[in-house]
Amino acid sequence: MGNFYIREYESLGIPGEGGNAQIAKEPALLDQTPVSFGSAVQSAAFGPNTRFARFHTDSICSFLVGANPTATTNNARMAASQTEIVGVTPGHKVSIISNT
């Protein structure tokens, strides 16, 4: 069983402070409680101001983002200790499942 960490952001970059760097702007809106996964599970819904999310996994997994997603091992795969920043829709969720 692995843990999937989700950090929510409203924007990327810092306008007016040297340009728009493609980095997440801290402080984050929210750190969700880590999602323990094995079989497919869903996170809590993203907040109303969330436009970007940082995903980090400590185990190999696949994920799917949507209004009511159910991840399969055919979805986007992440290696153990991998981090991704993705654009998301407020109110949507991420589903995670173990993979090899």
Compute the chain's Rg from CA coordinates: 14
pLDDT tens readout for residues 32-74:
999 999 999 999 999 999 999 999 999 999 999 999 999 999 9
Structural domain boundaries enclosing 74? 2-98
Q: What is the pLDDT of residue 34?
A: 97
Could you tell me how many residues make up the chain? 100
pLDDT tens readout for residues 72-96:
999 999 999 999 999 999 999 999 9
Tokens 């090899």, residue?
100
Domain total of the chain: 1
pLDDT tens readout for residues 9-28:
998 776 665 556 678 888 99
Tokens 């929210």, residue?
30
Q: What is the pLDDT of residue 17?
A: 58
Show the CA angle centred on residue 34, arms to residues 30 and 40, nearest 5°.
Answer: 120
Q: What is the pLDDT of residue 80?
A: 98
